[in-house]
Amino acid sequence: MSDKSTEKVNVEELLAKANKPKQISPKYHIFYGGKIETSLKVPVRSLNDFSIWYTPGVAEASMQIKRNKDLVFDMTNKRNTIAIISDGTRVLGLGNIGPEAGLPVMEGKAMIFKYLGGVDVFPLCLNTSDPDEIIKVSKLLEPSIGGINLEDIEKPKCYYILDRLKEESNIPVWHDDQQGTALVTVAGLISALKVVGKKMSDVKIAVVGAGAAMTNTIKYLEMAGASIGNFVVADSKGILHQGRTEIEDKDNQKWKLCLRTNKHGLTGDISAAFKGADVCLAAARPGPGIIKKEWVSTMADDSIVFAMANPVPEIWPWEAKKGGARIIATGRSDFPNQVNNSIGFPAVFRGVLDSTAKKITDEMCLAAAFAISEYAEEKGLHEEYIIPTMSERGVFIKEAVAVGIKALEQGVTRLKVSRQELEERAEFYIKRSQDAVNLLMKQGIIKSVPF
């Protein structure tokens, strides 16, 4: 069989595999009626216990919290609870589908938070797209939750909402589409550069896509040692440069990239960004064919390509390999080197909640990125393993501890906790959550699907 026919079979098989979850997912959702529920964490030995957990006994707990509000973190589940806030305006690759259609996605996010990080989550899809109303609702929820995850909110208002809430809230606020994607991408690139033996400060980086994820990725990479002038960023209309004045009044974040990146003033279409680049980072639209193997062939030796669109990457891995790329990462689990937000956000919030942090700083996110890369390095880096998978529980514990330690170093926590306490809490909550699911499945309380 020729290479061409083999390639065709592979594509057909991969597309069929990619489409299978889409086909069976509605049946699963209807069978289970959603993915999450509220469960008890205290014993009920008899009805007499309700006098402790509820009236009259609960009154004393309430009065102690009234005298000292910080006791709410010890006497309630606030310390382990966050809210996912979304208006459904930019859901996955689906766009503006509204809050009701966004709810299955937010429940899925809540499930991952719980299973991988042991974090309890309320998914809240709001019936408003007004950024000031989203900010108001988020602030009104503060007495009941220990943090906020902003999710699937369109740009540019996602920048505005995050900046306002970080400034005005008394609990940590995070936007996974910006910070989560960025820190996991940075983690993968730190590892990839170690494999190919290149320095972060030296590499030229071509970026395909200039949305929230890539904007924040560039920010974190600069903090990690990359030279901002070595980035060449391209959107759908071509390379960003100071002559792109049509952007100035429409997108402040993108205009900043025009002013700070691309030190040689390159112009032209996307393909021009690849010439001589050591790295390509792409988070554009699903492919294939968004990136051409001919473009990859113009990159430097030992090049690195991150094609992270889902469900189909901007370029198939074997196409990037034919173009000369040495390391390829995608957003898919059926290829090596999956760049997946789920490696980041559960552990970040685990560390934030366990350290009682009041905010999530960029330095905490970068600490998480380095912890992920260090974990992979301890396991043994190679071309097809630059980032851990979701099945490796240890990476979440290591990452959570790194985030908590950085929060303590920056003085943004309510309490002082030790490294040992951070490790013990992370291991306890994550193991407890996964063991509980396994036990419920074993006992048939979580039923197996009959189809």
> Which amino acid would we find at residue 51?
S
Q: What is the CA radius of gyration of the chain?
A: 23
Identify whether 194 is a catalytic site residue. Answer: no
Of the candidates 219, 79, 210, 103, the residue with the CA atom closest to the CA atom of residue 151 = 103
Q: Of these residues, 17, 27, 32, 54, which one is catalytic?
A: 54
User: 68 to each of 72, 411, 415, how far by Cα in Å?
Assistant: 8, 21, 14
Q: What residues contact residue 245 under an 8 Å CB cut-off, 6+ apart?
A: none
Q: Of these residues, 78, 109, 114, 254, which one is catalytic?
A: 109
What are the tokens at 435?
């063991």
Residue 330: CB atoms within 10 Å: 26
Distance between CA atoms of residues 310 and 209, nearest Å: 14
Q: Is 121 helix (H, G, I), strand (E, B) or coil?
A: strand
In 238-324, DSSP assigns E strands to: 238-239, 279-282, 303-307
Distance between CA atoms of residues 440 and 445, nearest Å: 5
In 310-431, DSSP assigns E strands to: 325-330
Q: CB burial class (10 A; 0-12, 13-18, 19+) of residue 395?
A: buried
Identify whether 28 is a catalytic site residue. Answer: no
Whose tokens are 């597309």? That residue is 15
Are 292 and 315 in contact by the 8 Å Cβ rule? The answer is yes
Of the candidates 188, 170, 215, 116, the residue with the CA atom closest to the CA atom of residue 432 = 116
Of the candidates 231, 213, 174, 221, the residue with the CA atom closest to the CA atom of residue 370 = 221
Active-site residues: which are they?
A: 54, 109
